[in-house]
Amino acid sequence: MATKKKSRKAAGKTARVEVVNEVREKAKAKAKGHDSEHEITIAPAKGKLGVMIPGMGAVATTFVAGVEAIRKGLAKPIGSLTQMGTVRLGKRTDGRSPKVTEFVPLATLDDLVFTGWDIFEDNMYDAATHAGVLDQRLLDQLKPFLSSVKPRAAVFDHNYVKKIDGPNVKKGKSKMDLAEQLRADIRDFRKTSGASRLVTMWCGSTESYIEATAAHQSVKAFEKALHESDDMIAPSMIYAYASLMEGVPFANGAPNLTVDLPVMLELSRKNNAPICGKDFKTGQTLMKTVLAPAFKARLLGLSGWYSTNILGNRDGEVLDDPVSFKTKEESKLGVLEHILQPALYPDLYGNIFHKVRINYYPPRGDNKEGWDNIDIFGWLGYPMQIKVDFLCRDSILAAPIVLDLVLFVDLAQRCSELKGIGIQEWLSFYFKSPMTAPGLYPEHDLFIQLMKLKNTLRHLKGEELITHLGLEYYD
């Protein structure tokens, strides 16, 4: 009896060791970028990629005009990781650093075709002229192309963007009817443009702050709410629903909930249409996610961070409304809390005063000025101050982000590993308020985000992940 027990115990131990070994092997294979259980496949980027943009304002026109200027050899794609970035592969001594475009199969700029929706009737040339971001001489060289991109009628609700109103708006019996009209637009663009793949990129105004309700919890509840024209369904959600129903990935450049909802995650996974968001990380928050990790790395304390902006474009005007600003404020405020982890470092970050303000100041147009006053403290609690004055150009910083998101989201949809997972957290690098799996806190540190992005590319291509351990150089 005792021998039987012993041998059963031994057998159990062997089985456990085998399981542990198997898990270890899998982890090792994963760390090397290989997953023996399924080979990762990426379909080639064949044919045209159609880019559909709700909101043809400053960011959208600066992006589209920029792509055309670059295609014509008039300018360079500065700020774009897909166009100018490289990925180091293997050891530091290997000398292998291909360009991103040589490493993963991305659509080329020549493959891109565009359409958009807006509440104003201006074509892309007129809208870009109105936005006043790019030099008129450059826009004039691109006029025939830009004038050909005309806005489709928008799905709009003045209650969600109180500062603007326009004539180019769809009418419908219900919100479901409006969603059907958007789906018809998408099918029409797919057919007339000859695009083999599509991506939707929200560049519309920031909508009023709302929180998710029961209507957003499942596809079934959302569709019922669409039929009932539920007030809690914002226009951006109707675009998102229409896109995902058509199997089209959706990236959200504004802080609205839009795709950050259980219903959209469900649809995204079901239809293999990746989603990501929210809110492009451009000026002040870009700086915040560079500086805050530095303070934390050196264990310098923080007592206050006061951020203020003056901004004179239409985005600034929309954000002058407190309910739209509240959406933006939520998106901007989360950053410090997540990077500094006050619960882990109460002496350093347990009592931070963090304030963010945006002031509409028309004379500056798109050329925002962002000031930061940062009160930090060091050894024995001695206080110090840092002042940042960033005279930036909002849409110039946003346009390369739009380009990279369009190309990477399309890559995700062609990739066996990524297309069915829903949220593309590896694209957090581009967002102020990155979407994550439910219950997971977002990673805000810009350099961790970059490492995550590049390691994802390495993983997809079966290359070893880079951990920066580096002990092998000292063997």
Ligand X SMILES: NC(=O)c1ccc[n+]([C@@H]2O[C@H](COP(=O)([O-])OP(=O)(O)OC[C@H]3O[C@@H](n4cnc5c(N)ncnc54)[C@H](O)[C@@H]3O)[C@@H](O)[C@H]2O)c1
Residue number, 253 or 274, with CB nearest to ligand X: 253
Phi, psi at 42, each rounded to 5°: -125, 120
Q: Does residue 313 touch ligand X according to CB under 6 A? A: yes
118 is an interface residue for ligand X by CB under 6 A:
yes
Rounded distance between C-alpha atoms, residue 456 and residue 412, angstroms: 11
Which residues contact residue 446 at a Cβ distance below 8 angstroms, ignoring those fewer than 6 apart? 281, 286, 289, 290, 293, 429
Please report whether residue 289 would count as binding ligand X according to CB under 6 A.
no
Closest by alpha carbon to 275, among 116, 88, 408, 114?
A: 408
Burial class (CB in 10 A: 0-12, 13-18, 19+), 251: buried
Residue 415 Cβ vs ligand X, minimum distance, rounded to whole Å: 26
With respect to ligand X, which residue has the nearer C-beta, 331 or 413?
Answer: 331
Q: Which one among 33, 55, 249, 400 touches ligand X, defined by CB under 6 A?
A: 55
Q: In the complex with ligand X, which residue's Cβ is closer, 156 or 408?
A: 156
Contacts with ligand X, 68-107, as mask; x by CB under 6 A = ----------------------------------------
Shortest reach from residue 102's CB to ligand X, in Å: 29
Number of residues that bind ligand X (CB under 6 A): 36
Nearer to ligand X, 82 or 256 (CB): 256
Please choose, out of 115-123, 177-185, 356-364, 445-453, the segment that lies near ligand X by the rule CB under 6 A. 115-123
The residue number whose beta carbon is nearest to ligand X equals 57
Taking the least distance from each CB to ligand X, the nearer of 124 and 348 is: 124
| Identity of the residue, 145 or 239, whose beta carbon is nearer to ligand X in the bound complex | 239
> Which of 57, 312, 365, 422 lies at the binding interface for ligand X (CB under 6 A)?
57
Q: Is 176:226 a contact under the CB 8 Å cutoff? A: yes
Asked if 367 interacts with ligand X (CB under 6 A), we say: no
CB of 92 to ligand X, least distance (A): 35
32-66 CB burial, b ≥16 within 10 A, e <16: ebbeeeeeeebeebeebbbbbbbbbbbbbbbbbbb
The only residue of 125, 145, 156, 250 in contact with ligand X, by rule CB under 6 A: 156
Whether the Cβ atoms of residue 49 and residue 111 lie closer than 8 Å to each other? yes
Please report whether residue 333 would count as binding ligand X according to CB under 6 A.
Answer: no
Residue 84 or 164: the one with the smaller Cβ distance to ligand X is 164
C-alpha to C-alpha distance for 388 and 288, rounded to whole angstroms: 10
Residue in 50, 66, 249, 253 binding ligand X, rule: CB under 6 A? 253
Nearest-5° Cα angle at 405, 53 to 43:
105
154 is an interface residue for ligand X by CB under 6 A: yes
Residue given tokens 């092998």 in the structure block: 472
401 vs 422: CA distance, rounded Å: 20
User: Which of 33, 50, 54, 312 touches ligand X (CB under 6 A)?
Assistant: 54
SS3 431: strand
Question: Which of 83, 205, 309, 413: binder of ligand X (CB under 6 A)?
Answer: 205
- Contact flag: residue 249 with ligand X (CB under 6 A): no
Any alpha helices (H) in 156-307, and if so which ranges? 175-193, 219-227, 235-245, 262-270, 284-297
Minimum distance from CB of 462 to ligand X (Å)?
A: 35
From candidates 111, 315, 369, 410, binder to ligand X by CB under 6 A: 315
Are the CB atoms for 277 and 253 separated by under 8 Å?
Answer: yes
Spatial separation of the C-alpha atoms in residues 420 and 180, rounded to whole Å: 24
Q: Report angle CA 48, 148, 168 to the nearest 5 degrees.
A: 110
Contact present, 202 and 327 (Cβ < 8 Å): no
* 360 in contact with ligand X (CB under 6 A): no
Of 40, 70, 164, 388, the residue at the interface with ligand X (CB under 6 A) is 164
**Which residues are near ligand X by CB under 6 A?**
54-60, 117-120, 131, 154-156, 161, 164, 166, 203-206, 235, 253-254, 279-280, 282, 313-315, 318, 394-395, 397-398
